[in-house]
Amino acid sequence: MGVTGGVRSALPALLRSGDEPPVTIPRDPAREAARRELSKRMYHENDPSLFQRALDAFWDWVDKLFTAASGAAPGGTFGLVVIALAVIAVLAALWWRMGTPRRTPTSAAPLFDDRPRTAAEHRSAAEAHAAQGHWNQAVQERMRAIVRSLEERALLDPRPGRTADEAAAEAGRSLPAHTDRLRAAARDFDDVTYGGRTSTEATYQRLTDLDRDLERTKPVLVTANAHSTAHNSRQGAAE
């Protein structure tokens, strides 16, 4: 049944046959009858859903907003596009110049985890990470290999909770020729572990070279007795 047919069924015929006078229906009753008829479900089966109506309203709002912005911007829509591209370019330049936000580096956390491993195990782990291009993990494991190797050679006392900076400072006393490289290695470890930075193959290679050089370097053992003996010798020579 169409809309016209429904309304006709709800209202008396407005036009009778030619020999009957037309019936005049007051406006308000006619409006109410039409409203009741048109509110029936059969007339709204193809209406858009509530979600569709909300989505249409949203896109209408976006369109009005864009139209208003383009009208306010110099040059209309083209000017708005140029401004948007300029803002994006500035943000991209700032991101490229400043980089990803980084946390403040700290070396308060211990160098090793709870499970002790040998220097060889740390080296194997470092090489496996390097083979996959995981340079952060490779740098971490290579630094742990360096410190563990020094502990195994009795150049460092095994001590839980030691940090990379502490290990570098202590090792520099018996390996003075490598003090600067040890400190740089500790900084690289801190940067990737606590500073949120991304390491590179070059950084990993520096630590690998340091690890190999330290294995070939003989320590300089300076004891309190040696200092005392040297001091007494100087005094005897002076007398």
46-60, 92-106, 205-219, range with greatest mean pLDDT: 205-219
pLDDT at 237 over 60: no
Q: First-to-last CA distance in the chain?
A: 131
Alpha helices in the chain (DSSP H): 3-10, 27-38, 50-72, 76-98, 119-131, 135-152, 164-174, 179-193, 201-216, 224-238
Give the pLDDT confidence score for residue 128 in this predicted structure.
95
Spatial distance between the Cα atoms of 18 and 37, rounded to a whole number of angstroms: 28
Alpha carbon distances (Å) from 222 to 20, 24, 173, 225: 132, 123, 9, 8
pTM score, whole prediction: 0.49
Q: Looking at the predicted structure, is the pLDDT value of residue 64 above 90?
A: no
Query: Mean pLDDT across the stretch 213-233?
Result: 63
Of residues 60 and 174, which shows the higher confidence score?
174
Average pLDDT over every residue of 216-230: 61
Would you say residue 85 has pLDDT above 80?
A: no
pLDDT of residue 97: 59
Question: Do 209 and 146 touch, CB atoms closer than 8 A?
Answer: no
Q: Residue 150: name the closest of 124, 182, 128, 127 by CA.
A: 182
Residues 136-154 have pLDDT tens digits of 999 999 999 999 999 999 9
Please say if the pLDDT value at position 28 is more than 50. Answer: yes
Task: Quote the pLDDT of residue 41.
Answer: 67
Q: Are 122 and 141 within 8 A, CB to CB?
A: yes
Residue 194 pLDDT: 87
| Arithmetic mean of pLDDT over the chain | 74
Tell whether the model's pLDDT for residue 36 goes beyond 60: yes
For residue range 88-131, list pLDDT tens digits in order.
876 776 676 555 555 444 444 556 655 678 999 999 999 999 99
